[in-house]
Structure 1
């Protein structure tokens, strides 16, 4: 009986020690899961904004400024705080349009700084006639 009492007495506080070690790791794991979910969401927002800017700048009589304005409008309505300090670049040549959106991700874990970006590229739309219809 003395041996059982001594064993029980020696195990006192073991659960508290385990919780002190385990609980911060559990919190950190949860915060990391939230951080990567925010990064995934920010990546999708950036990609959508880039595609929308491309769609606005592609028509024949559009310009890169129209695509830039569309991207800024989408950032104001969709990105909120998830896409921090977004930067938009829309370039248009005679045949191609390129749109790129980059920004930081809202931080849930202070030491982890992630970035999200989206890019889209496509041809400039032109109205043409089929060769058969020309005189």
Structure 2
């Protein structure tokens, strides 16, 4: 047996072993990229729903229930597959209104649960006099 044939026999199966080790790692990296892109997208959905809920709840005749309903409608319109079972919390006082939307993001990587949230806050609209007091 010559030296070159011995070298060839010693390298047999090396490509298969590298393939078995590298391909799962590459697939995991690809899945992680997709997972974090979905989290980024879900954060934008949650923020949009919170802003829409704030717009409905902060008006003079608005209520916390109006804001919650508008946020839920916005979530439904954008698709409920990315942000799973989102919670909508609306706090409305005489001076400030806050809407929080939060929920888990759909899983692509098994065992990895990530959450996305959006918050919008602003002054509650009310009629005041020129001096700043209530009419």
**TM-score (ref. length: structure 1):** 0.92
SS in 2 for 1:127: coil
The count of aligned residue pairs is 131
Q: Which residue of 1 aligns with 2:49?
A: 49
Partner of 2:83: 83
Please name the residue that 2:94 is paired with: 94
Displacement of 1:128: 3.9
Q: Deviations over 1:87-125 (max 9, x none)?
A: 001111111101000100010001110001111111011
How far off is 1:129 after superposition?
5.1
Aligned counterparts of 1:70 and 1:14: Cα–Cα separation in 2: 59
RMSD: 1.3
For 1:79 and 1:57, the matched residues in 2 are separated by 22
How do 1:1-135 residues align onto structure 2 when only pairs under 5 Å count?
2-128=2-128, 130=130
C-alpha separation in 1, matches of 2:7 and 2:110: 43
